[in-house]
Amino acid sequence: MSGALVLRSGRVAAPDGMRAAAVVVRDGRIAAVTDRDAHVDGATRDVDLGDLALLPGLVDTHVHVNEPGRTEWEGFATATRAAAAGGITTLCDMPLNSDPVTTTVEALRAKVRAARGQCAVDVAFWGGAVPGNTDQLVPLLDAGVVGFKCFLADTAIPEFPPLDRAGLRAAMSVLADTGAPVIVHAEDPAEITAPAGPGYDAFVASRPPVAERRAIETVVSAAAATGARAHIVHLAAAECAALIGAAKAAGIALSAETCPHYLFFAADEVPDGATQFKCCPPLRYAPNREALWRALAAEVIDCVVSDHSPCPPALKEGDFAAAWGGITSLQVALPAVWTVARERGHTLADIARWMSAFPASLAGLPAKGAIAPGRDADLVAFDPDATHVVRGADLLHRHPVTPYEGRALTGRVTRVWLRGAEILPDLPRGGRLLRRGGHDLVLS
């Protein structure tokens, strides 16, 4: 039996804030968090990280891996290596853009077969709620998904159509007693129009904040009526924070995420024709971005996850109306958020809460999300002061196209441990497939 691994740092992101500590790891789990200079019996490896910060491995609950079926867009091998290099030690795969979409147990089986043995980090799966598969939801949950994604607006993937109000309520009713969340792409199709021109402003205007607001109203009333847990994915319109905050205050089981790109970029800076910035809902203007930051600081927005959604470069050609929507960011999410969080006075403890602790609880992964005794020893050494310029070609994503190209970011992941085993830079395929509750996902 191997002895303990000890990691010492002056800046450990513990659940109660940043502090100097020694983290003791035995058998892949955190055994203790103790004084930085403490003597540890049986330590066979003792690493002093100096001024490097130690973060809990990030949990990214919003990743489109696209395998099987569209592996040429992104696959488990490339996505999980990029994730690991970016400090993400667990990712949750979205149920669409792959073929088949994960709306049946059989399709989950195809996902598991595709992912097994390929992953550098731990992986869990969202199921999909679509018209006509309500009877599949509990079987999918029993088979191992962590919850369900649905859309209220068109997805551009014909086999993954949106739910209407009645469909949303039916899905949430079935799941109300399970604790599994329904995570919703909240844009109301009645408020979306065709862009009036080819430029970015016309695209933004075609998907206005009211589209998000009307859809969130639909989600809030469905959550209130059914008692199911609901979560708003990629919130872009900051004006919706009032609605979400009010629903939470009323005791409705609602949470919300936003994404690095909404916190980093603003519509004002999107160059003509730069479709690498296209996503839905769109990047909005600078005052909206600052309001998103206030909502995050006020804990109305609970977490920040990537919505990494790549496609082959050819699908990004054309104008904003025609190009595929989706931003590539898995490997740069942590430094991108840290760059702009630090400017606004936030700490790495905030980053740990937004990008690890809350997503772990959303996905029902109790061994993840914190540097605390009993948790998996998923740990990230992070230099919070190092700067670098993003070059898409250097990233481990399948495709280099990213709106962060050429941007200077602060913060660099230097070492990563998955269940106590150091995985950078070799990135072995030691990631596990996990089910809600955190056990291994085993599907024959």
- 204 vs 280 by CB, closer to Zn ion: 280
Coarse DSSP helix, strand, coil percentages of the chain, rounded to the nearest 5 percent: 30, 25, 45
- The length of the chain is 444
The nearer residue to Zn ion, 71 or 173, going by C-beta atoms, is 71
Q: Which two tokens stand for residue 25?
A: 């790891």
The Cα 227–Cα 169 span in angstroms is: 10
Q: Supply the minimum distance, in Å, between the C-beta of residue 63 and Zn ion.
A: 8
Which residue's CB is nearer to Zn ion, number 52 or number 305?
Answer: 305
* Partners of 102 in beta bridges: none
Do 331 and 280 contact (CB within 8 A), yes or no?
A: no
Q: Judged by CB, which is closer to Zn ion: 245, or 312?
A: 312
Please identify, using beta-carbon distances, which residue of 185 and 368 lies nearer to Zn ion: 185
> Nearest distance from residue 233's CB to Zn ion, in Å?
6
Other Cβ atoms within 10 Å of 436 Cβ, number:
22
CA 298 from chain centre, in angstroms, equals 20
What Rg, from alpha-carbon coordinates, does the chain have? Answer: 21
Nearer to Zn ion, 307 or 376 (CB): 307
Which residues contact Zn ion (rule: CB under 5 A)?
307
Nearest distance from residue 257's CB to Zn ion, in Å? Answer: 10
- Closer residue to Zn ion, CB minimum distance, 21 or 283: 283
Residue nearest to Zn ion (CB): 307
**Residue 7 CB, nearest approach to Zn ion (Å):** 33
CA atoms of 278 and 167, how far apart (whole Å): 28
Give the HSE-up count for residue 318: Cα atoms under 13 Å, Cβ half-sphere. Answer: 11
Whether 278 and 320 have beta carbons less than 8 Å apart is answered as yes
User: Least Å distance between CB 349 and Zn ion?
Assistant: 27
Alpha carbon of 444 to those of 110, 113, 122, 143, 206: distances in Å? Answer: 10, 9, 19, 10, 45
CB of 94 to Zn ion, least distance (A): 6
Determine the residue type at 190.
Answer: A
Minimum gap (Å) between residue 413 Cβ and Zn ion: 23
Tokens 């009333």, residue located: 221
Could you give the CA distance from residue 90 to residue 433 in angstroms, rounded to a whole number?
Answer: 9
